[in-house]
Amino acid sequence: MTDVKPSHYALLGFEGIALSFPQDQVLNINSIDDMQAPATTHQEFGSVRHHDSVLPVFAFSDNLQPKTASATAHRFCVSFHIDGVPSFAIACDTVEPLAIDQLAVTQPLPELMKLDVTPIRGLLQHGDRLALESDAGAMHAYLEYVGAWHE
Amino acid sequence: MPVPCTLTWSMWGPGMSESSTAWLLDVGNDIKIAVAEPEMVEFLLTPKLHRLPLTPDYCSHVLLWRRLIVPVIEMSALFDSPTFLQHSSALTVLRYQKASHAPLEYFGIVVEKSPLKIMVNDQQACEGPASDHGIWQSSELVLAHFLHDELPIPILSLPYLTSEAFRDFVATTHPGHDSQ
């Protein structure tokens, strides 16, 4: 299988972390004020509406443990799709586009740093900045693994 | 576990009957290790490190160095003691090859003091301390020991130290040290 690297990313900033996703997986960027109560009674996370879909909104600690987003701690919620199906949203403080150019270096996460399940697929260096590289599928799998995902 | 009592090793030159140059690294907790002179690339006093979440405790930072993203190993995280990365983050950049024609690979190792250049020869070869436990029991990690200032100094296999196998070995022998 050929792994074609994206050329454009969305860079989400929170808790001192920069987490990048392929820009074509982003559905929408909402204000955190658009976040609503959990969609179902067994969910602990808030939700955001995207057309007819209601997507869970996840925030993360500085160690990427899922936590509840809050309007006082976050500014945006960024919605993602997986293969065209609206899937989830992530709360963050900043969101910015990043185009890969000659200043950028990407590499897989070194093998000795990999744990069994992680949403981090690689590292992206742009100038003196470093972002964690993820994608919607890997994040969904991680959220399921840590028990944060409720259908 | 017995260790080979010879220092002969490709990176240390063709045999050790004559002295070879090595670097002595203080990796914290009064633990010193040695690497061959060609394995040392650079000593950085105050590098800017980036912490990565969901990584093993002993390797949870990377260094942006010469357009490379270099993993940083903190040996003191393996010694059941607080990590000192928060108050001292000097490090050495080391290099190794997995095979003779393989590309050079780089990683950083946190050190407490400036590296010390020393001369080593076969006459200094010795057994490891009988009290060795934990990671020092790994014959894949510790290639040999030599005496320096009356202390046995381990020579480490850098390819093994940076391998998935060592990561898995740590997860087995140091439960609780395998994730941030």
What CA–CA distance (Å, rounded) separates B94 from B101?
18
For residue B10, the model assigns a pLDDT of: 47
State CA B37 to chain mean position distance.
13
pLDDT at A1 over 50: no
Mean pLDDT on B136-160: 89
* Tens digits of residue pLDDT in B6-54: 444 445 554 555 788 999 999 988 889 999 999 999 999 989 899 999 9
Residue type, A146: V
Q: What pLDDT score does B80 carry?
A: 65
Of B56, B64, B67, the CB nearest to A113: B56
Chain B residue whose CA is closest to A106: B69
CB burial string A77-89: b at 16+ within 10 A, e below: bbbbbeeeebbbb
**Nearest-CA residue of chain A relative to B48?**
A128
Whether residues B53 and A63 touch (CB distance < 8 A) is answered with yes
Q: Average of pLDDT values for B125-145?
A: 81
- Is the Cβ of A114 closer than 8 Å to some Cβ of chain B? yes
Alpha-carbon separation of residue B103 from A83, B76, B95, B137, B166 (angstroms)? 37, 28, 10, 29, 20
Contact A110 B64 (CB under 8 A): no
Is B166 exposed, middle or buried (CB count within 10 Å of its CB: 0-12, 13-18, 19+)? buried
Q: Which amino acid is residue A20, in one-letter code?
A: S
CB B62, CB B70: distance < 8 Å: yes
Measure the CA–CA gap between B144 and A135, rounded to whole angstroms. Answer: 44
Mutation target to probe the A interface, by most A beta carbons within 10 A, among B48, B49, B51, B55 is B55
Closest alpha carbon within chain A to B168: A112
Distance of CA B42 to the CA centre of its chain: 14
Q: Do B53 and A64 touch (CB under 8 A)?
A: yes
What's the pTM?
A: 0.86
| Mean pLDDT, rounded, for B135-139 | 78
pLDDT at B178 over 60: no
**Separation in Å, CA of A80 to nearest CA in chain B:** 22
Amino acid A126: pLDDT: 87
CB-CB under 8 Å, B69 with A125: yes
φ and ψ at A32, to 5 degrees? -60, -20
Tell whether the model's pLDDT for residue A110 goes beyond 70: yes
**Given an 8 Å threshold on Cβ–Cβ distance, is A130 in contact with B62?**
yes
Q: Residue B5 has what pLDDT?
A: 39
pLDDT over 50 at B101, yes or no: yes
Amino acid at B149: D
% of chain A beyond a pLDDT of 90? 62
